[in-house]
Structure 1
Amino acid sequence: MSRKESGGRAMPREVVLSKALSHLLRHSAEKEHLKISKEGYVNVADLLETRKVKSLKATLPEILEAVSSSNKQRFSLLYVSPENMEQGTEGSQQQQDVATSTAASEEKQKSATTHALSVNDKDASHFLIRATQGHSIKSVDTTLFLERLSLSDSKEESPATKLPDTVVHGTYHGAWPLILASGGLQAMSRIQVHFAIGPTVDEVFPNGRDAAPAKLEDKSNQIVISGMRSDAEILIFINLRKALEAGCPFYRSENGVILSEGIATGGDSPDTKKMVPLDFFDLVVERKVGLGVLWENGNVVQELPSHLAEKKNPKQVRGGGRGRGRGRGRGGRGQP
């Protein structure tokens, strides 16, 4: 089974496997008849038997390597020892109880993954795996394994628990007019909109706000940013405190991604969609061609030129070949 990158080169096997795992755990587990818990965990033995993974002839060591080598820490792993398991229904319940307990604590999640990767056990059925974020499967309750951010989070607390100073959403030229027209960021097919905690405004404007922003680097030099594609052309900076004060929920995933399903902005109608509205946008910056600030404090500073606004967004090629114009593409309008 071979896949190709946009440049026509064959993707390395480990990349193909990682993409397949991400797609299954985030989007298609139920379609593949893969049992997934409300915490997002599936049994690795069952995972290896799915059509998508089985076609790759993947092994348990390769799954473990995919977890440990993911540059964005896309996966969490849980080991349930034979001593803590029983056969049949009771064994399944034991796994469920362990998964529920672990998912409730970010610290437990990280230590559980570290422990699972250190275990010398060749039985795949003793391992559970889930995606750390990015789900569209409605039966998965992401609030069970995401840390909800609060205004009470103190600056004196550890960096891992305090409110992030920067919350930014990366998107593309073609998505920006749609975001403006819709009134904000919508999760679309995902459960939540994704945000990163960098780059900061100072990093985007290294020579000051009166100068042009730093342009995107060549793809080969781009750094990995959890929560945003590194080639994002437009950066939307969020006023997190204002959003939290207004009751808009924000969460932090195990791998540091900030997420929000937004709030209902159209009254009590059952058809009202949730979004992170424009009211919470502090600053919007175009950095691909160096236009700079497009939006600031509730006002349009400059329009995006039509030849950019009308561009189709890059397509994201996911495990099953699904792709669509997006901003970050996943989910269409503004989804990173």
Structure 2
Amino acid sequence: MFSSRNRQNAAFPLWCPFTAAQSATVPPTNGNVEQTRNARGGRGGKRGRGRRGNRDGQDRDVSLSKSMSYVLRHGANQMGLQMGTDGFLFVEELLAHPQFRSYSVEDIERVVATNDKQRFKLRSHPEDGRLQIRANQGHSVQVMDLDLKPVVAGSLDCPAEAVHGSYLHNWSSIQQQGLSRMKRTHIHLASGLPGEDGVISGMRKDCDLAVFIDVPKALADGIEFFCSENGVLLTAGDTEGKLLPKYFSRALRLRPTRSILPLQ
């Protein structure tokens, strides 16, 4: 599934998971940028740049982060934005879109720098130096050059276990059918549970189900795993996009108290 360009030699840590949006615009939860700009007085909306609090009282940085996640993971093409095969999009083109005109380069740089899960990466284009941005993982569109590091069986950076976060109402289906990448390109796994040392991403904080995967066993069956730049383990699963229950090593109910769930 991945080209040789994925197999980079860059240094990584010891080792390193929604459904695609249903419309071609940023979801309504991000607020109506045009109405917000008009409410502040003036089409340019410059007084609002860098300030927090939109008309719904939602933190502007959270709103911007959600909007960027949608565009960079799912909706760039539908919104008329050109994303490269490496997932990068020019920041100036993003800010020129009506959905982002109330934001500035400084806003984007701040959101990228302060994002607790390190979802985004900024870089200067290697040829002309123009600022670009991409999502590190979570795509429903094919991105071939994400600088993913392959996990090799038997290597020091091959984990014995990785964990996928979900919700208890999904457990009956997961228990019988396994984990599915669904409309995304990968199943996401973390190196541990949220709050554990070194775990910054790979699972939503509100998950109440944790499914642990025997990584060496899956690798032995030819299932590929890759590590993203922010430490998330990614796999496309088998030919049907799944990690079958035979690769589950254990499962935990996380709330209200932690307890072991039977695998069968």
- Give the TM-score, by structure 1 length: 0.58
Superposition pairs for residues 1-40 of structure 1, below 5 Å? 10-40=57-87
CA shift in 2, pair 1:287/1:20, >3 Å: same
Alignment check: 8 A CA contact 1:135 1:191 kept: yes
Q: Which residue of 1 aligns with 2:117?
A: 72
8 Å Cα contact 1:198/1:225 also seen in 2: no
Instruction: Give, in angstroms, the shift of residue 2 of structure 1.
Output: 7.8
Q: Quick one: distance in 2 between partners of 1:283 and 1:45?
A: 46
Contact 1:168–1:235 at 8 Å: present in 2 too? yes
| Corresponding residue of 1:275 | 242
The separation in 2 between residues aligned to 1:10 and 1:177, in whole angstroms, is: 38
What does residue range 1-336 of structure 1 map to in structure 2 within 5 Å?
10-54=57-101, 57-80=102-125, 84-85=127-128, 126-138=130-142, 140-141=143-144, 144-154=146-156, 162-181=157-176, 183-199=177-193, 225-264=200-239, 273-290=240-257, 292-295=259-262, 299-300=263-264
Contact in 1 for aligned 2:30/2:64 (Cα 8 Å): no
Higher-Rg member (1/2): 1
Question: Is the contact between residue 122 and residue 132 of structure 2 (CA under 8 Å) also seen in structure 1?
Answer: yes
The C-alpha deviation readout for 1:64-104, integer Å capped at 9, x for no partner, is 111111111111111137xx43xxxxxxxxxxxxxxxxxxx
Q: Give 1:59 deviation, angstroms.
A: 0.5
Write the deviation string for residues 106-141 of structure 1: whole angstroms up to 9, x where unpaired: xxxxxxxxxxxxxxxxxxx81111000100113x22
* Contact 2:147-2:228 at 8 Å conserved across structures: yes
Q: Report the more deviating stretch, 252-261 or 281-290.
A: 281-290
In structure 2, distance between residues paired with 1:75 and 1:44: 12
* Shift in alpha-carbon separation, 1:73–1:251, aligned structure 2, 3 A: same
| Unpaired segments ≥5 residues, structure 1 | 86-124, 155-161, 204-222, 265-272, 301-336
Superposed CA offset, 1:139-198 (max 9, x none):
x225x42111111422xxxxxxx12344101110111112123x2111111111111111
Report the identity percentage: 33
What amino acid maps onto 1:177 in structure 2? Answer: S
Q: Which amino acid aligns with 2:186?
A: Q
CA–CA distance in structure 2, aligned partners of residues 244 and 64 of structure 1: 37
1:51 Cα deviation from its structure 2 partner = 2.9
Please tell me whether the aligned partners of residues 21 and 53 of structure 1 are also in contact (alpha carbons under 8 angstroms).
Answer: no
Distance 1:127 1:79, change over 3 A: same
Equivalent residue of 1:134, what SS? coil
Q: How many residues align?
A: 211
Residue equivalent to 1:106: none
Mapped to 2, the partners of 1:64 and 1:24 lie a distance apart of 16
Residues 190/2 of structure 1: CA separation in 2 closer, same or farther (3 Å cut): closer
Give the RMSD, CA atoms, in angstroms: 2.4
Instruction: Give CA deviations for 1:287-310 in whole Å, capped at 9, x if unaligned.
Output: 213362223xxx42xxxxxxxxxx
Distance 1:148 1:2 in 2: 36
Distance 1:24 1:289 in 2: 35
User: Using a 3 Å threshold, how does the CA distance of structure 1 residues 274 and 3 change in structure 2: closer, same or farther?
Assistant: closer
Instruction: Give the secondary structure class of the aligned counterpart of 1:168.
Output: strand
